Amino acid sequence: MSGRFDGETAIVTGSSKGIGKAIATELAREGANVVTNSRSYERAEAAAEEIAETVDGAETLPVECDVTDPDSVSAMVEATVEEFGRLDVMVNNAGMTIIGPAEEMAPEDWRQVIDVDLSGVFFGSQAAGRQMIDQDDGGAIVNVSSMMGSMGLHRRSPYCAAKGGVDNLTRTLAVEWAEHGIHVNALAPGYIRTAITDQTMESADYTQEEVENRTPMGRFGTTEEMANCALFLASRDNFVTGEVLTADGGWTAFAWGSHGP
């Protein structure tokens, strides 16, 4: 097995399913040692085993970690370095959402989304950045944001606020760590078919037809497409840092709003 990430090691948080699992799989396919992560060791292990079975020769390590706990995140980085000797790529993908009117949003729900979706990205970036600075040969950090980081969506106040924070955190870390050769970028997906989107559709918040009508490409994106975008950002053979790559099928570019019936 050979690829663009031969000899490199990557952590992907929230990689037991969805976009994170797809990114972890493609990194392994391109030669990286991959650390899978979940708050549940069993889920992280299942993902690691599936990747190892899918990708011939893949080296994986499952790690249980709560991204809202900086000590837990630091321990994950330490376990990675102990197993593989270094850390080259950090993908901060773990995320969640809670849907509801802003005037009714409970303080604990607000804090939970901010803790996972924003603080978790900072703690992951911080722990990875420290390790990459110590290694003194650069690295790449990819923060999974959302197109909602640059626009408003009703009943998503904590999610939109967190993702907007991720976008500007990404720019700030890119500027701060450029001198260390660390690329820091964000991937901002649109509507992708994952467990979270299925969950919100089940709540009757929106329908598949509404999303397809609102998206110029006329469909949901796939986790494989998001993985391809993430791997571009994770590679360092480019002059890109501090960018937010929006992969939404044209959603944010579409001024009219719907091309469907």
Question: Quick check: 190 and 218 in contact, CB under 8 A?
Answer: no
At 28, list the tokens: 């392994």
Question: Quick check: 140 and 186 in contact, CB under 8 A?
Answer: no
Question: Quick check: 48 and 36 in contact, CB under 8 A?
Answer: yes
Predicted TM-score of the model (pTM): 0.97
Cα–Cα nearest to 166, from 111, 95, 226? 95
Supply the pLDDT for residue 195: 79
C-alpha to C-alpha distance for 108 and 90, rounded to whole angstroms: 28
For 1-47, the pLDDT digits (tens) are 569 999 999 999 999 999 999 999 999 999 999 999 999 999 999 99
- Domains of the chain by range and CATH? 9-245 (3.40.50.720)
- Give kind and range of the element (H or E) at residue 94: none
CA 214 to chain centre: 24
For 67-112, the pLDDT digits (tens) are 999 999 999 999 999 999 999 999 999 999 999 999 999 999 999 9
Average pLDDT on 126-133 reads 98
C-alpha to C-alpha distance for 231 and 238, rounded to whole angstroms: 12
Question: Quick check: 80 and 87 in contact, CB under 8 A?
Answer: yes
Supply the pLDDT for residue 261: 60
Residue 202 has pLDDT above 90, yes or no: no
Residue 156 has pLDDT above 80, yes or no: yes
At 71, list the tokens: 């000590």
Rg (CA), the chain: 18
Could you give the maximum distance between any two Cα atoms of the chain, in Å? Answer: 56
**In a 10 Å sphere around its CB, with 0-12 CB exposed, 13-18 middle and 19+ buried, how is residue 252 labelled?**
middle
The residues that are catalytic are 159
Supply the pLDDT for residue 260: 65
Q: What is the mean pLDDT of the chain?
A: 95
